Amino acid sequence: MRIERGTLADLATGAAFLGSGGGGDPYYGRLMAEAGLARHGAVELLPLDALDDDALVVPLGWIGAPTVSVEKLPGGQETVAGLRKLEALLGRRVEAVLPIEIGGGNGLAPLAAAARLGLPLVDADGMGRAFPESQMAIFNIRGVAACPAVMTDAGGTTVTIEHSDNLAHERIARAVSVAMGGIAHMAEYPLSGREAKAHAIGGSVSAAIAVGAAIRAARQAGGDPFAALYAALRASRLYPFAGELFDGKIIDVERETRGGFSLGRVQLEGFGGEGTMVLEFQNENLVARRDGDTVAMVPDLITVMDRETAESITTERLKYGQRVKVVGAAAPAMLREARAMAFVGPDAFGLGEPYRPIEMLNGWTAT
């Protein structure tokens, strides 16, 4: 498969859903990718198992608070500058790139550089969704080093991080992103092809494209885009359970930018007085409680969507009065492993309750 402009639109729609409210709004990432494709041509989407074992593969993405990204636009050179610096550090050429997370704008982050440099985009990512911190990538969970890492910003600043501790790397990178104005680009977890095949979440880019295509086709045919979404998620096999968690309107939003994150909570009221829901988020939606009972929690996906168009709404764009559906989906199996829970489960976010799969909480069965 080659990613062209039409495919890009579907990828943006699917990545917005998989972001679970985070990963950054895909709008600006899509514009940058469209410009890159227009100038340099389509980008090859390379199956994970097609990588050479010795290839140098680099995950790319943005770090910082999504609320900042709404107003502080990228310069367009950050991704290429970061890759060139990393190549100089490692003494070899990058042969493929992939998103550090498929969710939101970060699902599109590598495309502009891939087009300009003639690199393939690997059909995989490091999170299977979006998470707020670097050490929550599957690569860290599986013991891969995050460094050397390179951060770049719109003003031309380049910062190299060398540290043996991946959590310390995240803390340093977060502080640097704040100093860079609240958001920056980062190339991290440089991988061999062998490591990518062993640890990356394969098929996530093509799953996002399929989700976007299903929603688009349903809209064009006058069908139900939500039913199409659920079917596409289940068909991907990465997200085997999906469904509606709530249908109503937003009645309150509390949100602040602190420590390089967007933090807050959202209250919703069902139509006709049909119950309430509260969402808590840290860049991404972390937990959904309906009438006080938990119905979804990390690492499973929770996305707020416009109830008429099925457009996903990132946490920085949630507003009072929006009429929405809250949709949930099971996380990829790799994120549900015991060793992953310490990094991406409820305890990692201080939620104070044990993880329970979304399908068990809602009585969903496989179809």
- Got the DSSP string for 1-16? -EE-HHHHHHHHHHHH
Confidence (pLDDT) at 138: 98
Q: pLDDT, tens digit, for every residue of 71-96?
A: 666 778 899 999 999 999 999 999 99
Confidence (pLDDT) at 69: 63
Confidence (pLDDT) at 29: 85
Of how many residues is the chain composed? 367
Residues 312, 203, 168, 109, CA torsion sign:
negative
Per-residue pLDDT of the chain (367 residues; tens, 9 = 90+): 999 988 999 999 999 999 999 988 888 889 889 999 999 999 999 999 999 999 999 999 999 877 666 666 677 889 999 999 999 999 999 999 999 999 999 999 999 999 999 999 999 999 999 999 999 999 999 999 999 999 999 899 999 999 999 999 999 999 999 999 988 999 999 999 999 999 999 999 999 999 999 999 999 999 999 999 999 999 999 999 999 999 999 999 999 988 878 899 999 999 988 899 999 999 999 999 999 999 999 999 999 999 999 999 999 999 999 999 999 999 999 999 999 999 999 999 999 999 999 999 999 987 6
Confidence (pLDDT) at 67: 65
- Could you tell me the end-to-end alpha-carbon distance of the chain, in angstroms, rounded to an integer? 28
Q: Set out the domains of the chain in order of their start, with CATH numbers.
A: 2-202 (3.40.1610.10), 239-362 (2.40.390.10)
Confidence (pLDDT) at 76: 80
Distance CA 94, CA 78 (A): 16
DSSP string covering 265-306? EEEEEEGGG--EEEEEEESEEEEEEETTEEEEETTSEEEEEE
Confidence (pLDDT) at 260: 79
Confidence (pLDDT) at 73: 67
pTM for this entry:
0.95
Q: What is the largest CA-CA distance in the chain?
A: 63
Residue 137: both structure tokens together: 């990538």
Distance CA 26, CA 10 (A): 11
Cβ–Cβ under 8 Å, residues 325 and 123: no
Long-range contacts of 250-256 (CB under 8 A, 24+ apart): 250/318, 250/319, 250/320, 250/321, 250/322, 250/324, 251/320, 252/320, 253/318, 253/319, 253/320, 255/67, 255/315, 255/316, 255/318
Residues 94, 99, 105, 111, CA torsion sign:
positive
